[in-house]
Structure 1
Amino acid sequence: MARKVFYSFHYVPDCVRAAQVRNMGVLEGNLLATDNEWESVTKAGEGAIKRWIDTQLEGKSCAVVLVGAGTARRKWIDYEIKTAWNAGKGVVGVHIHRLKDFAGLQSVQGANPFGHFNMDRDGSSLSSIVRCYNPPHADSRQCYAYIEANLATWIEEAIGIRAAYR
């Protein structure tokens, strides 16, 4: 049975790249909000956004952060990372900048989104605990194949890392 995961990503620039990962069928992921649904959630304010994210995280065992050029330090992505980690869920990052968008373009590599989180226990960075994978291929097809071949393993590893960090 496939794990249920929550996908976190910067919607506007990375939705096509994120859809490629989500459509691999390796894992069961959260449903994307339609533009209309997301607009109504955001118009309702920060509390509504938090409730929507919290609801999407329910029943998921891991948050998969799909890292694009501008993913790190985005307010709601940070909220998703922090909420998933604090709820005891696995957290893992996957760089998706080499996957092509609808225009056939790749992007630049973004920063590790876990680097600015400090752990209460010892002050170390979350990036020293949570892994953020960068596929070693420049070609979009090879990058896709690499993610597809490894994503389920990365998820299991992230769940194990979080379980060991109690």
Structure 2
Amino acid sequence: MVRRVFFSFHYQRDIVRVNQIRNLPEIIDESAAGFKDSSLWEDAKKKSDNAVKKLIDDGLIGTSVTVVCIGNQTSGRKFINYEIQKSIDRGNGILGVQIHDLKNFSGEVDTAGSAPYLLTKNNYPIYKYINHIKLKEWIETAAKAAGK
């Protein structure tokens, strides 16, 4: 089943790692909602926190699953808990995926970061990225757990 998925992540630090997941042929049919265009993100940040929240809210429209891509600094992002709480409020399936072992622009991997508080507080599953087949399974499992 095709699912519309919101990917939550640290844009500046992890966009290359996240694109390795989002741009796989087997995942491309999953709608990669969220911040695909850095200019939209930067423009919203310049305006106000409310503009960023609106961008997040708009990105969540029509999604059934939220994948929190956990890099080294994800849990410290200003809007991470807002993204997770809004996903909870809309009843999305939610999961965390550790992406620190994927390479950045320089071909470097990173050290593991801590999981965002709302993921652990609510006992959402957290996986270490293995491959696209597993990711699709985890997305489907999260959707079904949320009744979607």
Same fold (TM over 0.5): yes
List runs of 5+ in structure 2 lacking aligned partners.
none
Q: What is the percentage of aligned positions where both structures have the same residue?
A: 36
Greater Cα shift, 152-161 or 34-43 = 34-43
Choose which of 57, 60, 65 in structure 2 pairs with 1:57. 60
Shift of residue 78, structure 1, vs aligned partner: 1.2
TM-score of the pair, normalised by structure 1: 0.80
TM-score of the pair, normalised by structure 2: 0.89
Correspondence 1:99 to 2:102? yes
SS at match of 2:94: strand
Deviation track 1:93-118 (CA, whole Å, cap 9, x = no partner) reads 110000111111000011122xx339
Quote the residue 1:86 is aligned against. 89
Greater Cα shift, 14-23 or 147-156 = 147-156
Segments of 4+ in structure 1 off by > 3 A?
none
List runs of 5+ in structure 1 lacking aligned partners.
119-123, 136-145
* Native 8 Å contact 2:64 2:143 kept in 1: yes
Count of residue correspondences: 145
SS at match of 2:140: helix
SS at match of 1:75: coil
Deviation track 1:47-87 (CA, whole Å, cap 9, x = no partner) reads 11111100000001111111100111422111111100111
**Separation in 1 of the partners of 2:81 and 2:112?**
18
Compared CA separation, residues 111 and 53, structure 1 to 2 (3 A): same
Quote the residue 1:153 is aligned against. 137
* Native 8 Å contact 2:84 2:118 kept in 1: no
